[in-house]
Amino acid sequence: MRTLDDLLGEGVSGRRVLVRADLNVPLDGETITDDGRIRASLPTLRRLTEGGARVVVTAHLGRPKGEPDPKYSLRPVAARLAELLGGRVELASDVVGHSAKSTVEGLGDGEVALLENIRFDPRETSKVETERGEFARELVSLVGEGGAFVSDGFGVVHRKQASVYDVASLLPAYAGGLVLAEVEVLRRLTGTPDRPFVVVLGGAKVSDKLAVIESLLPRVDRLLVGGGMCYTFMAAEGLGIGDSLLEADMIDTCKRLLAEAGDKIMLPADVVMADDFSADASTQTVLAAQMRENWKGLDIGPITVERYADALAEAGTVFWNGPMGVFELAPFAEGTRGVAQAIVDSEAFSVVGGGDSAAAVRALGLPEDRFSHISTGGGASLEFLEGKELPGIAVLERG
């Protein structure tokens, strides 16, 4: 696929460049609580502006229902992006309307404009190709003749959407630095990773991770399970799990996976239980076989952390996706902290698979630079590891 280096080699001074970024950050009102994705977009944007490009950024925030919604405006994102870039970022008040056109027309060399939430237009996510195509042509018209497209939102490349897929068929298209780095890292995991290859999986549901578990099991040396999904595995082993999260319809699947995996799958030996899902609940750390009725398992316990840390200390490659417990609540954060610290302390090539795992790294104050790579796209990372074709990557590879 053509890359940002190729585009810069052609020259971008005075050219309008449409960039699909992933700026889907968590908000508390209008306060950004984690700007990791914005910061991840900076290298590509800076290289373009330093080259004199007139940069037009498209991005989404949340899940608006195909129409403008002030709750999902990119206004806070534009303000933070301007702070980090150290220059003005003009936010258009619409996507492809009068404001978008006038904002783009007003760009000078090395300046940046951000279009309003791309998902305010229902055609962005339409399943009808002609509708997406029409919207894509309107986006392309904003950059005009001589324009180019840079795909730099890895978190959305698994979506066949107008600003991700269709525009890449209408403009000279290039992989941004972020997308290129993500693909290279994930290809390393799916190729011949250094061994032992240890995968840490958390999150709420087995069903959400089933495809990646089935894909990875033949290739990994250890699969360490935590989060809400571990209780369905524990139930499959015949253990009582109290009032913990359970997918009853996945118990037989978990039994099959455990039988197929042999000793590859490691489950919690102890858990932190609580009588309520709250920060001030009564808590108790118990062995996995002694979970109390009507109590909920909300984190892995210290024995489990130690066992998982031992496995991680020997690893040559680590992939981590999903927290070990409800890390947002202080009484249930230590399992995630302990496992993450063990990854940091290891000598392994380590990849954090985006989503809640990346958020946990920042929320718990762990050193980001001690992980080899922190992905910006949880869902995209998992689909890549499952072996699925990612539309936003496939279209770039077709050139």
Average of per-residue pLDDT across 251-271: 96
What's the domain range around 30? 4-181
Q: Looking at 134, 149, 181, which one is the last position of a domain?
A: 181
Q: What is the pTM of this model?
A: 0.89
Per-residue pLDDT of 193-250, as tens digits, reads 999 999 999 989 999 999 999 999 999 999 999 999 999 999 999 999 999 999 999 9
Q: State the number of CA atoms in the 13 A half-sphere of 145 facing the CB.
A: 0
Instruction: Give me the pLDDT at residue 116, please.
Output: 98
| CA–CA distances in Å: residue 398 to residues 6, 103, 202 | 16, 32, 35
Question: Quick check: is 259 in a domain?
Answer: yes
Q: Which residues are annotated as a binding site for (2R)-3-phosphoglycerate?
A: 37, 119, 159
Per-residue pLDDT of 304-347, as tens digits, reads 999 999 999 999 999 999 999 999 999 999 999 999 999 999 99
The C-alpha atoms of residue 14 and residue 11 are separated, in whole angstroms, by: 9
Lowest-pLDDT range of 40-49, 141-150, 228-237, 376-385 = 376-385
List the CATH number of the domain containing 71.
3.40.50.1260
Q: Which residues are annotated as a binding site?
A: 22-24, 37, 60-63, 119, 159, 209, 297, 328, 354-357
Q: Which residues are annotated as a binding site for substrate?
A: 22-24, 37, 60-63, 119, 159
Question: Quick check: is 399 in a domain?
Answer: no
Question: Quick check: is 398 in a domain?
Answer: no
User: Tokens 């305010």 identify what position?
Assistant: 120
H or E element, residue 176: none
What angle do the packed helices 36-50 and 177-190 form, to 10 degrees?
120
The catalytic residues are 37, 205, 355, 379
Q: How confident is the prediction for the chain on average, in pLDDT?
A: 96
Helix-strand-coil split of the chain, %, nearest 5: 45, 15, 40
Q: Which string of DSSP letters, residue by residue, matches 64-117? A: --SS--GGG-SHHHHHHHHHHHTS-EEEPSSSSSHHHHHHHHTPPTT-EEE-S-
Considering the domain architecture, whether residues 331 and 268 belong to the same structural domain is answered as: yes
Question: Quick check: is 391 in a domain?
Answer: no
Considering the domain architecture, whether residues 135 and 237 belong to the same structural domain is answered as: no
Instruction: Give me the pLDDT at residue 377, please.
Output: 83
Q: Which residues are annotated as a binding site for ATP?
A: 209, 297, 328, 354-357
User: Total domain count for the chain?
Assistant: 2
